[in-house]
Structure 1
Amino acid sequence: MKMHEIREVIRLVDESTIQEFELENDGTKVTIKKALSNAGIQVTETPTVRPEQTTHVERQAEGQAPIVQQEEPQSVPTPTASEEKEDDTDLHRIVSPMVGTFYQAPSPDSEPYVKVGDRVDEKSVVCIVEAMKLMNEIEAEVKGEIVEVLVENGQLVEYGQPLFLVKTD
């Protein structure tokens, strides 16, 4: 299967209510499983609950007044300023089509594929996501200008995680 075909299958599964999908074609097997949590984030360690973090229900059971605003546990990521800014504008997100390691350049001593201010088209390679020792070139899939790089070189990325913001033409 070609990468664009796999991306299309991922997109279709993501937009559907299907929780698990398996496809076998010409000796290639693709299995896609959706996480049940909100953004595909799975917290593996249980955070310590401080008294100010108790929930509304727990406080009512204890006969205390509920807290209107509670602090998020440390292990749950909060939206960055760039993600909040993106919601208010017509910027396009280039997202990771898989879980892996993000690389800005084809090799450590090479220049990045793109930088802020660079123009891209649909076929422009913007980065590599390494998954299971395979280097997957990620294309922009839109025409425009790179406004922001949202991840660091060598950072682990999740499926659907925004990598770049692009001001489309």
Structure 2
Amino acid sequence: MSTQDIQQLIDFISQSGLDEVNIETTDLKISVKRYGSGVPVVAAAAPAPAAPAPVAALQPQPVAAPAQTAAAAPTVAAPKADSSNYVTIKSPMIGTFYRSSNPETPSFVEVGDTVSEGKVVCIIEAMKLFNEIESEVSGRIVKVLVENATPVEYDQPLFLVEPI
């Protein structure tokens, strides 16, 4: 079984909603467990005739979480009833969203703050690199759509901005 076959199996299992699957053949043993909506943990072992098989942990590619992330993320403030004129600042990459440069400093922006083009609004950590995300629009922050220190996807909405 190739790594691609294993990845396809993981994708299938993640879409099925199962939390645990064990597959065992004469050549391979795979155990897939997932807790909550996190990334599945996969362990595979090849049998050895005389000795117990060593367990090798495979690093699967992260499985995209269902589109429930934005709905499940707590919000900081409620938007006005008419949100048609708001501009969304979206994540340019996959990573971990941070509202400030470290836990001891205040957030880059709060609800009600006025931002201009080029002002840093958050940081997204991707592969141990901290990337400053700048506003592409001038306006007032109306809503923060993502909880601090949570994973974000590419093009996921982060902030709602009322243009000036």
> TM-score normalised to the size of structure 1?
0.53
Matched residue, 2:155: 160
Deviation at 1:106, TM superposition (A): 0.6
Provide the rounded CA distance (Å) in 1 between the counterparts of 2:129 and 2:160.
Answer: 25
- Residue 80 of structure 1 pairs with residue 99 of structure 2: no
Provide the rounded CA distance (Å) in 1 between the counterparts of 2:155 and 2:13.
Answer: 20
Provide the rounded CA distance (Å) in 1 between the counterparts of 2:12 and 2:126.
Answer: 21
- Residue 47 of structure 1 pairs with residue 17 of structure 2: yes
Secondary structure of the residue aligned to 1:80 is helix
> TM-score normalised to the size of structure 2?
0.55
Higher helix proportion (structure 1 or 2): 1
Secondary structure of the residue aligned to 1:102 is strand
Higher strand proportion (structure 1 or 2): 2
- Residue 94 of structure 1 pairs with residue 89 of structure 2: yes
Matched residue, 1:132: 127
Provide the rounded CA distance (Å) in 2 between the counterparts of 1:147 and 1:44.
Answer: 38
Provide, for residues 95-143 of structure 1, a one-character-per-residue CA deviation record: whole Å limited to 9, x for no partner. 0000000000011110000000000000110000000111000001100
- Residue 147 of structure 1 pairs with residue 147 of structure 2: no
**Which structure 1 residue ranges, 5 or more long, are not aligned?**
1-41, 49-73
**Which structure 2 residue ranges, 5 or more long, are not aligned?**
1-10, 19-36, 38-64
Q: Which amino acid aligns with 2:149?
A: G
Provide, for residues 29-81 of structure 1, a one-character-per-residue CA deviation record: whole Å limited to 9, x for no partner. xxxxxxxxxxxxx7861226xxxxxxxxxxxxxxxxxxxxxxxxx97334639
Provide the rounded CA distance (Å) in 2 between the counterparts of 1:102 and 1:87.
Answer: 27
Matched residue, 1:123: 118
Q: Which amino acid aligns with 1:124?
A: K
